């Protein structure tokens, strides 16, 4: 809960998944047992879809083009994020054409036969038709191509977990797409002087990802930072000590200041209904705005942990990448290159400032710093060591024409010495020479920041890119 009592996660919306199943109505009088069996399979699909934490709008079972039109209108009215068309047996493309022509949601064709294979010796025509969902799939693909509508498909059988993982990937991608379409990104302060690569026209966020960029001033934060004696500050101090482990380097007054700023950040996020926050303020000679900028790390890390990524250096595109990472459950922390270890074959990565505690190998540390390298001010920083295992990098490239591309790479974090400087740090093995990897990564056109999350998720972000009409680049050497 935030200081104002509002759960920042309450603004999250589950993806709305439309479902329509169908088959050729001419079969029903010929094979009386077929339709009940197909309806039962459709019920199984609906149940499994709901298991992905999605709101499922079931438009029913259609048997002809007229029923398909009725289903299409219902799905359009539901404002679906993804429409799943379950091909239970052969059906004509005219039955699905209304969904392609009238709908606005991406479409996923699902062909799941009852079992892994037929009992060929025992099956009659009616039993075979229950396995015939693959037959209309090329017809649907041809029709969508000619109508100029994108589609994708998953084929398998009802209990095929590989197929369900692919279906789940599309549902999660639809959820990420919905998050970005509705997102409100806070942009507070000004660009870090000279960082031309991270500069982003806010209009390009709306053009490529959707959502809205709310331009804020540090004065908006200043007005929401409470006095030190308020009950909300004491609660924030308790929360900080629960989430983080303070080191001996932490000065009590600096931790108190960080807690006060954290309360102000919670109020800022609530008052402007923000889903992310990118910020930077240079400051001068210890004045209040410099102290606010220096006091952001604790509160920004706590916000990031609760699903509202907050990053420094005015990094709007990377903040959006962190939001995507968070929504698929991978964490997502602000990351850049630190050094190369040619002895161990590792690329060392990390960043000062806000971190995502969900990726930490242990309880993150609070470390007091007398100086923030490259920035004015001093105070409490968060130090995380990324837990060993698979990791994914996700960056947002801005092309010369203003279009965005999602860039991914997969590696594994390994053991080795880490700096104790108040940064999130990791050692990533990409299975190749670290110098060659850095050259290839840089050649993609990525800026010098990106998001790092736990697990391998390149396929997931390829699906996100497809649903959003973005280019996807995956680096694998």
Q: What is the pLDDT of residue 373?
A: 64
Residue 6 CB-density burial (10 A; 0-12 exposed, 13-18 middle, 19+ buried): middle
- Rounded Cα distance, 75 and 83, in Å: 8
Reduce the DSSP state of residue 404 to 3 states and report it.
strand
End-to-end CA separation in angstroms for the chain: 43
Q: How far apart are CA 58 and CA 7, in angstroms?
A: 30
Interior CA angle at 451 toward 450 and 457, to 5°?
A: 120
pLDDT score recorded for residue 378: 62
For residue 191, give the nearest of 199, 179, 183 by alpha carbon.
199
Q: What is the structure's pLDDT at 65?
A: 96
Torsion sign across C-alpha atoms 228, 234, 237, 241:
positive
Q: Which structure tokens are listed for 153? A: 């498909």
Task: Report the distance separating Cα 424 and Cα 449, nearest Å.
Answer: 13
DSSP summary character for residue 246: E
List per-residue pLDDT tens for the chain, 477 residues long: 333 334 444 466 899 999 999 999 999 999 999 999 999 999 999 999 999 999 999 999 999 999 999 999 999 999 999 999 999 999 999 999 999 988 889 999 999 999 999 999 999 999 999 999 999 999 999 999 999 999 999 999 999 999 999 999 999 999 999 999 999 999 999 999 999 999 999 999 999 999 999 999 999 999 999 987 789 999 999 999 999 988 888 888 889 999 999 999 999 999 999 999 999 998 888 789 988 988 999 999 999 999 999 999 999 999 999 999 999 999 999 999 999 999 999 999 988 878 888 898 888 888 876 566 666 666 788 888 899 999 999 999 999 999 999 999 999 998 888 877 777 889 999 999 999 999 999 999 999 999 999 999 999 999 999 999 999 999 999
- Find all residues with CB under 8 Å of 284, minimum gap 6, and list them: 290, 376
The C-alpha atoms of residue 6 and residue 113 are separated, in whole angstroms, by 46
Residue 1: per-residue pLDDT: 36
Give pLDDT, residue 372: 66
> Residue 226 in contact with residue 257, Cβ under 8 Å?
no
SS (HEC) of 156-221: EECCCHHHHHHHHHHHHHHHHHHHHHHCEEEEEECCCCCCHHHCCCHHHHHHHCCCEEEEECHHHH
73 secondary structure, DSSP code: H
């Amino acid at each position: 809960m935030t200081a104002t009592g509002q759960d920042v996660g309450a603004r999250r919306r589950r993806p709305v998944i439309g479902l329509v199943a169908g088959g050729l109505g001419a079969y029903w009088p010929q094979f009386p047992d077929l339709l009940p069996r197909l309806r039962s399979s459709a019920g199984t699909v609906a149940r499994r879809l709901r298991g992905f934490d999605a709101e499922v709008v079931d438009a029913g079972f259609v048997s002809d083009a007229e029923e398909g039109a009725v289903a299409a209108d219902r799905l359009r009215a539901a404002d679906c994020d993804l429409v799943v068309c379950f091909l239970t047996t052969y059906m004509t493309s005219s039955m699905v054409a209304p969904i392609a022509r009238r709908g606005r949601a991406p479409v996923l064709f699902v062909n799941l036969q009852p079992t892994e294979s037929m009992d060929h010796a025992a099956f009659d025509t009616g039993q075979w038709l229950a396995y015939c969902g693959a037959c209309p799939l090329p017809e649907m693909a041809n029709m969508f191509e000619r109508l100029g509508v994108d589609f994708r498909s998953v084929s398998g059988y009802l209990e095929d977990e590989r197929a369900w993982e692919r279906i789940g990937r599309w549902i999660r991608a639809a959820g990420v797409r919905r998050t970005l379409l509705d997102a409100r990104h806070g942009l507070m302060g000004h660009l870090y002087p000279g960082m031309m690569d991270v500069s982003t026209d806010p209009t390009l966020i709306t053009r490529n990802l959707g959502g809205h960029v709310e331009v804020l001033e540090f004065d908006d934060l200043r007005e929401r930072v409470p006095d030190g004696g308020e009950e909300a500050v004491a609660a924030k101090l308790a929360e900080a000590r629960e989430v983080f482990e303070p080191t001996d380097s932490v000065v009590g007054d600096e931790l108190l200041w960080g807690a006060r700023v954290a309360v102000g950040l919670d109020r800022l996020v609530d008052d402007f209904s923000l889903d992310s926050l990118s910020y930077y303020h240079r400051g001068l000679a210890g004045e209040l705005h410099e102290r606010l900028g220096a006091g952001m790390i604790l509160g920004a890390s706590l916000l990031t942990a609760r699903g509202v990524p907050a990053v420094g250096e005015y990094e709007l595109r990377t903040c959006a990448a962190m939001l995507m990472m968070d929504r698929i459950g991978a964490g997502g922390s602000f990351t850049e290159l630190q050094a190369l270890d040619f002895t161990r074959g590792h690329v060392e990565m990390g960043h000062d400032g806000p971190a995502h505690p969900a990726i930490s190998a242990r309880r993150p540390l609070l470390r007091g710093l007398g100086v923030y390298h490259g920035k004015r001010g001093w105070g409490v920083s968060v130090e995380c060591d990324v837990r060993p295992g698979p990791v994914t990098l996700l960056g947002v490239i801005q092309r010369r024409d203003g279009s965005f591309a999602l860039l991914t790479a997969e590696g594994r974090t390994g053991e080795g010495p880490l700096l104790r400087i108040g940064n999130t740090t990791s050692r990533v093995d990409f299975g190749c020479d670290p110098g060659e990897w850095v050259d290839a990564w840089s050649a993609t056109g990525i800026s010098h920041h990106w998001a790092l999350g736990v697990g391998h998720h390149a396929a997931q972000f390829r699906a996100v890119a497809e649903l959003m009409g973005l280019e996807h680049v995956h680096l694998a050497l």
